[in-house]
Structure formats: C-alpha cells, structure tokens
Amino acid sequence: MRTSPFWSLIFWAGLWELAGRMGWIDLIPPLSATWIAILELFERQTFWDALELTARTFLIGLGLAIAVGIPIGILMGLSRRADKLLSVWVNLFLSAPLTAVVPALMPLLGIGEATVIATVFLFSVWVVIIDSQAGVAHVSTSLVEMGRVFGCTRRRIVFEIVVPAALPEIITGIRLAVIRAVKGVIVGQIIIALIGFGGLFDTFLSMFLMERFWALIIILFAMSFTLIGLIELIERRIAFYAGTR
C-alpha cells in the first residue's frame, strides 16, 4: 500500500477536527474553526505588520549569515590553520542551545528588530560555514591538479575551480540555514514576546483565543514549508554537479 503522504496529513487533519469537536482537549479547537480564524487573521492589519517584520528580520539575518558564513567557510576549507583555529567554535555553536543566548541579546541590542535579526543570524550562520568548508575541502584533488597542470594561478584555481565546485555543498548549507533561520526568527520573537508574531502569540494566549493561536501556527508552518520547498527546487537544479565529480 503506497498512498501519498498527502492522505496521511488529511487523516491527521480529520483526527484534529474530531478532537476539537469532541472537546477532548480544551486547547484544541476544531480544525474547521481554525480555518475560519485564518481568514479572519488575513483581514487584520496586526497580522500583516507582524508578517512584514518577520520577513524583514528573517531576510536581513539570513542574508548576513550567508554573506559572513560563505567567506569564512571557504577560508577554512582552503587553509588548514584557519580550520584548526575556528572549527571547535563552529562545531560547538552548530549544535548548541543558542536559545540561551537570546536573553543576553536583549539588553545589548534592545527589545526590537535588532535582537530578532541577531537571533536569526546566530541560528543560521554556523551551518553555512560548515557546509562551505566541507565543499571546499572535498573538492576533487584531480580538478585542482588539472588547474595546476594547465598553469592556472592560485587565485584562478580558487575562484574558477574550487569555489564553483563547492557550490552544491554551499547551496545545501543555505537550505539548512533557511530551516534554522525560520526557527530563529520565531524563537527570537516569542522570547521577546512583544513584537511581531511573538507579540501576537502572547496576546492570543493571554486572551485564550485558541482558534487564532492555531491559525497562526498553521500559517507559519505553511510558509516555512513553501520557503524550504523553493530552496530544494533550486538545489535539485544543480544536483548534476555532484554526480559528475
């Protein structure tokens, strides 16, 4: 029996609706009521303001992470010494509970967008570094030798052979960074609990507006899936790279 995972989700949705209607758990309204709440949310300016803030902080934080992470990763891939010096920290922060750092950002950067941007950056930069490093360090030896045999300068080997050859890994790093950045932008906002979706979540919970709370959750999940799906599409388009190495 091989049915699409889509039907599995429909099944879970049905279960959710049933749980809501039977009132098994107070906090779970029927899915249908949540759908109506989604439409209501779309009509409210606060939602669009929060979305705009989220999109802005997400893009700035992620952009910074990519702009900083790729050069550092490439440097670590090229130079053994840079790698030995930095890899301890990169690996530590890659799997560290960085949520603990967010409270420290608030007195530094204020209770606002800057803290959210820094959270997004901190969540996503490490994986970009690691994957860029791995991509560069694992470029096939014979490609580099080929460049040397045909008389390329070191600069040319780095920029025209090594970096393009590392591109699939770099893109993978960016995809993983997007997933982490989505988590970062939400964690940042709910810890601050005053701005953006964090503020909305706080309001809905304190006023016990469960339909709206779940509606927002569904919207967020849907948006992150769309975003990650898009990145995966781009990644697949250059997958042939890896196959011919």
Mark residues 178-217: x for contact with other proteins by CB under 8 A, - for none. Answer: -x--xx-xxx--xx-----x---xx--x-------x--xx
Region of 31-39, 42-50, 60-68, 105-113 interacting with other proteins (CB under 8 A): 105-113
CB of 36 to other proteins, least distance (A): 20
Instruction: Give whichever of 64 and 217 is closer to other proteins, judged by the CB atom.
Output: 217
Q: Is residue 76 at the binding interface for other proteins, with CB under 8 A as the rule?
A: yes
Q: Are 72 and 127 in contact (CB under 8 A)?
A: no
> Number of C-alpha atoms within 13 angstroms, CB side, residue 102?
25
Q: Is residue 121 at the binding interface for other proteins, with CB under 8 A as the rule?
A: no
* Binder among 147, 173, 196, 199 for other proteins (CB under 8 A): 147
Q: Is residue 226 at the binding interface for other proteins, with CB under 8 A as the rule?
A: no
| The pair of three-digit structure tokens given for residue 105, joined into one six-digit string | 């950002």
Question: Could you give the CA distance from residue 170 to residue 18 in angstroms, rounded to a whole number?
Answer: 44
Number of residues that bind other proteins (CB under 8 A): 89
Instruction: Show the 3-state SS of 86-154.
Output: HHHHHHHHHCCCHHHHHHHHHHHHCCCHHHHHHHHHHHHHHHHHHHHHHHHHCCCHHHHHHHHHCCCCH
Q: Is residue 230 at the binding interface for other proteins, with CB under 8 A as the rule?
A: no
